[in-house]
Copies of this chain bind each other. A is one copy, B any other.
Amino acid sequence: MAAGCVIGVDLGGTKLLAGTVDSKLEVHHRAYRLARPDDTGELIDQLVETVQEAIEAAPGEVLTVGLGVPCLVDPHTGIALDSNHLPLRGVAVRDLLTERLGLPVVVDNDANAAMLVEWRCGEARGTQNAIMLTLGTGIGGGLIVEGRLVHGARGAAAELGHIIVDADGPPCPGSCPNHGCLEALVSGHAIGVEGLRVARAAPDSALGRALRSGRDVTGALVTELAHDGDPAACDVMTLMGRRLGLGVVTLVNIFNPEVVVVGGGAIAAGELLLAPAREVVASRALPINRKDVRRVPARFGAESGMLGAACMALDLAGVAIE
């Protein structure tokens, strides 16, 4: 058993996961919550309660807590600067949690956390230039450039969901003032929107029948039906994959990376999403830039955010990953 553990927390737009993690990145306990409070106080209460469950399940001393949030975060102060999906704007998340938990806390953007663990121990290990896209309710991004995790001037870099793909495209959900962003065109939310359109247009498809039977057309449902081979659901995933590919073209031309890692809940769609994305990159990215780039699912799948937050916590505790 490891001498000390940390708690890694991934706060998503709709899900909360706290893991009790040791220095080998082994997970001893997982505390899940589905709720997404609309009130800041309730959200913090839920975070504290979930982390406490993870602390109590630890086999030994808990040293530190790492938290990934779907917000722009100032890495120096731990204050959430803005958030598209949660009521955290201006909230001093790090200091609040430190006080409530009585443990040192480190906070960063959730996709930065996911990038970190994929770079340290996953699909981007050993690279100097890597890109992480997390497809969930929205799209998060993380960047390794010339061997460093990129934060930007105010901690707001790598907002890769908010690159323009279609200048005249649909409005971006949440507080982003833009339209035609990657996040407006691809994400759990966008899969649901497009799924609903296709379900209405093809009432005899499995997707159409699901709609008529009263089910919510969510990203998860479309993904499930596409895996089952429903052509209508597959069409939705192909369209999403092509749009994802447009975003990857821009990123590959900017960064000339060694690898693009795709994670987040929506990557459950796997090759249904990645194969059409690869086709678009193969036909539209600059030849040199696309030549050697790998485009792969995250090694740590839907847990990369939680494990990345654990990496941050291990760094804060001065514990090396074994």
A residues with a Cβ closer than 8 A to B are: 72, 81-82, 127-129, 141, 143, 145-146, 148, 150-160, 162-169, 175-179, 243, 246-247, 249-250, 253-258, 283-289, 291-293
Contacts and interface: CB of A to CB of B under 8 A. Distances in A.
Contacts of A150: 145-146, 255
A41 to B, nearest CB: 23
18 contacts: A82-B287, A129-B153, A146-B150, A152-B256, A152-B289, A153-B257, A154-B256, A154-B292, A156-B256, A157-B255, A157-B289, A158-B254, A159-B256, A160-B253, A162-B250, A164-B250, A164-B284, A166-B167
A256 B164 contact: no
A246 B167 contact: yes
A252 to B, nearest CB: 9
A159 B129 contact: no
Given A250-B250, A283-B177, A128 B153 contact: yes
B82 A254 contact: no
A153 B168 CA distance: 33
B255 A152 contact: yes
Given A146-B148, A146-B150, A177-B284, A289 B163 contact: no
Contacts of A250: 162-164, 250
A179 B249 CA distance: 11
Given A128-B153, A167-B243, 10 more contacts: A129-B153, A151-B256, A153-B258, A153-B293, A156-B256, A156-B289, A157-B289, A177-B283, A177-B284, A254-B254
Contact of A146 (B145, B254, B258, B293): B145
A128 B145 CA distance: 13
Nearest to A250: B163
Given A145-B145, A249-B178, A286 B154 contact: no
Nearest to A169: B167
A177 B287 contact: yes
Contact of A167 (B158, B165, B178, B258): B165
Contacts of A156: 256, 286, 288-289
Which 5 A-B pairs rank lowest in CB-CB distance, beginning with the nearest?
A152-B256, A156-B256, A157-B256, A162-B253, A163-B250
A255 B250 CA distance: 13
Contacts of A254: 141, 143, 157-160, 163, 254
